Every structure is written in structure tokens, then in C-alpha cells.
Amino acid sequence: MSVKYHPIPSNDPYESEIDFSSPFDYDLEPTNKKFRSIFSYSNPNSHNADVHLTSAQVSFWRRFSYWVIIFAAYLLLFITMPISIWFAFKRVPNYERLVIFRLGLMLKTKGPGFVFFLPWIDRCHSVDMRTKAFNVPPQQILVSDGAAIEIGANIYIRIVNVQKSVACVQDHNHSVRLLVQLTLVKLLAKKTLEEIEQQRSPIATVVQDECNKTTLCWGVEISRCELSHIKVLVAPSEGKVPLPKCIQPPGYSPSGHQGAFDGLPLAFQQLANVVINKTNKTNENSPKQAPVPETFPTKDTENKYSETTKDTFDVIIFKLQSVLDNDLVQSVNTIFQFHIVGDINKKFLLDLKNGAGSVTFMENTENHNAAEVTMTLDYKDFISLAHGHLKPLEAYKNGCLKVSGNKLAALRIEPVLDRLQSILL
């Protein structure tokens, strides 16, 4: 008996009937085919803030009408000669340039010397090329160490591109002043009071360079920048802990590294500084009593204070009477009524309108009809006001000082307080 063996088939008998091939290619070898997308992701053009003035592309009929109008203007000028010739020339000094707009199109800069133009259709702008100086008003800034300062700047600008200066900005002084103000706040908010006092010149240079990046696009260059005298309104807080990263000013970090959340608006950064500094100051002073001026009562001097309060008040009123004179009366020309409440309940009339000025005590229930301004404040705030620790406007904003009557006239009390502080120090 013969037996024949055959190998078992390894292929699928139904392979020819069903096609299991995939429409996708999973080959791992790199191919030379390039994927082509409708979007472009390569070499994006960087944003250029510079302003380029180019010649306008106009249609044929617009050009034709343009030259017809110009021909008519020359013809009218020729017909009305020699009278019109006196109005067709303009003398441009050496320090000026002339920009002419003709039918909405800007022509090339003219001058110096005599410049010809068509008075019927041309509009002329004279640009002064001399260096101009103006000041940036002092503004209050809260710096990174909690100090509040008041600082301004003196700016010197000049025109470097006449056409851009006419076409890109309307008021150079106003635009540059606002730009310098914003740049000052942005830079000084990151620094401490000590750094600002020691680096005034480098800071002024940085402000000049930062502003020039924008002003050069307007055809204006800041040639010099000088910071004004720094006036410290609030001293820096001692022992201040670092701010949380979520409310740090841009670039602020105790280790010198750039802080997180740099895009937080500057107003919220400064508000956060105020809140944190006030909290830290309260925590630091809570274990022990904070030092106060000698005229302020403390718990340890509560018994002595009632005896010396009247004497301190009388001394201030006596010295207030001694600083009054005719010059002060002429400059102030107002009658003030003060109502002191709290530890001493007193009313007195400060007459700076008649004679050489006088201080007159009043009854508590009496009100003087001639008083233009009535000021009501606590005795402690009155002492602070007299010694210069508290400003009238600041006291009014904080609610420590209540003013009734002419509020504008109330501001005239500042020269009187300045004289009083000079002899109390």
C-alpha cells in the first residue's frame, strides 16, 4: 500500500476573492514626496512698526483729471498775472520746511528759500525743524518697594522726517508727552526707590531709547531726556515680603528673574502693591506699638496727654497768629472757619481777608456768616496738618477733613500751612 504525502497549504484559499489591502501606506522609509498645504507655515514676515510713505497708484482717468485741473490752475494763474504772482510764492526760513498737499497728494518737501505753489489747489504746512523743549508734568508712581514718588521729565525733541511728522501725527508735543508718561510708569514701577535715585541718568537714557522706537515712526526724535527731582510721598516699607507671582509687576522678582503674569495691567499691579504693603505693615506692627509723633497720645501717655493737649493746641494757634501778615492776606483773601473735634472741641475763625489777618476763637454753637469755608477735622488730624505730616487734599480724600462751602477756596489754606510748618519744625 503506497501513501503519498502533500504539504499543508499556507496561503488563504479565499485571498483571491476578498481584497484585504489597505488604502494607506505604512512604509517606515522616508519618501521624497513633499506635503503641500493650502496654509503657509514657513518664514513669516516679522511685524515692522515703521511707517513707509509710498507713491499712490491711481487709475488713468484719475491721472487725466488730475492734470486737467493742474493745467486749469496754471492757466488761471497766467490770466490773473501779475496780481496772482504775489500769492504764488512763499518764503521759507532756514529753520523751516514746507510740505505741499495738491489735490490730496503730498508733494516733495520744499525749502528753504522761495517756494512756488498754486494758491488755488495747494495746501501748505510749515514745519519748524528747530529743537523744542517741554516738560512732562510730575505724576505719582508706586514703585516696587512700596514707596510712592512724584517725578516728571524734561524732553527735547526735533523733527527728522518732515513728511512723516505731517502725515502720521497731529500734535507732536501732546503725543510725545503721553508716550513718555506711560514709559516712565512702566519702567519705574519695576524699580525700588534706591535704584531710581542712584540710576537717574541711565533711566533717562532708557526712557529716551524706548520712546524713540515709536517717535521715529512719526518723524520725531527725542534728542535728550532729563528726569526731574524725585519727591518721596511715602517712604518704602521695611521688611516687605515678596509679592505673589500672580500680582507682581512686570519683570519684578526678588532674585532678579522676570516674574510671571507680565501681562497684568499696570493699574492692578500698583493696587496689589498697596494692598500687600498695607497688610505687611499691619502684621509687622501688631506685636508692638508703632512709633507716633510726640503730640499724638499713646496708651502709655494717656494720663499725661489730657494735661498737655490744651498747651499744644494753644502753642499752634499762637504760632499761627505770628505768621500772618499783609502779603499772606493779599494772596489768600479768604475767611476760614475751623471746627476741631475729638479730644478738644474748639472753633476758631482764621480771617485772611481783612487787615493783617487774625485768629479768633468762637463758641461751639456759633457759626460765622462771613466764613467762606468751614473745615471740620479731628484734633489728631489737625496736629498732623499743622506739622506737615498730612496734606489738606490727602486728608479730604481720606475723609479725615470735611469741607463745606467753597471747596476751591479751601485749597488756599496751603500757603498758610507752609508758613506754620516752617516755624514748628
DSSP 19-37: ----SS----S--S-----
pLDDT at res. 187: 92
For residue range 87-116, what is the model confidence (pLDDT) as tens digits?
899 999 999 999 999 888 888 888 899 999
**145-166: buried (b, 16+ CB within 10 Å) or exposed (e) per residue?**
bbbbbebbbebebebbbbbbbb
| Confidence grade of residue 316 (pLDDT, cut at 50, 70, 90) | confident
| Confidence grade of residue 153 (pLDDT, cut at 50, 70, 90) | very high
| C-alpha distances in Å from residue 333, one per residue of 352, 402, 409 | 5, 21, 9
For residue range 283-310, what is the model confidence (pLDDT) as tens digits?
555 444 444 444 444 444 444 444 444 4
Average pLDDT over residues 268-283: 57
Per-residue pLDDT for 41 more than 70? no
Element (H, E) at 134: strand 132-142
- CB contact set of 334 (below 8 Å; sequence gap of 6+): 352, 353, 372, 373, 406, 409, 412, 413
Asked which of 96-110, 245-259, 326-340 is least confident by mean pLDDT, the reply is 245-259
Q: How many CB atoms lie within 10 A of CB 99?
A: 20
pLDDT at res. 182: 92
Per-residue pLDDT for 261 more than 50? no
> Residue holding cell 472741641?
345
Average pLDDT over residues 326-336: 86
Q: Is the dihedral of CA 342, 348, 350, 356 positive or negative?
A: negative
Residue pair 193/145 in contact (Cβ under 8 Å)? The answer is yes
Our CA angle for 335, 340, 342, nearest 5°, is 170
Per-residue pLDDT for 22 more than 50? yes
Give the β-pairing of 346-352 and 334-341.
Answer: antiparallel
Per-residue pLDDT for 66 more than 80? yes
| Spatial distance between the Cα atoms of 397 and 407, rounded to a whole number of angstroms | 12
Cα torsion through 208, 213, 215, 221, rounded to 10: 50
For residue range 192-208, what is the model confidence (pLDDT) as tens digits?
999 999 998 999 999 99
Residue pair 92/112 in contact (Cβ under 8 Å)? The answer is yes
Strand residue runs (E) in 198-345: 220-227, 231-234, 334-341
Average pLDDT over residues 316-344: 85
User: Which domains are delineated in the chain?
Assistant: 60-128 (no CATH), 131-234 (3.30.479.30), 313-422 (3.30.1050.10)
Q: How many percent of the chain have pLDDT more than 70?
A: 68
pLDDT at res. 93: 92
- Chain mean pLDDT for the chain: 76
pLDDT at res. 314: 80
Residue pair 277/361 in contact (Cβ under 8 Å)? The answer is no
Q: Report the candidate in 359, 363, 358 with the shortest Cα–Cα distance to residue 345.
A: 363
> Residue holding cell 498754486?
118
Average pLDDT over residues 116-140: 90
Strand residue runs (E) in 212-305: 220-227, 231-234
Using DSSP's 3-state secondary structure scheme, residue 349 falls into strand
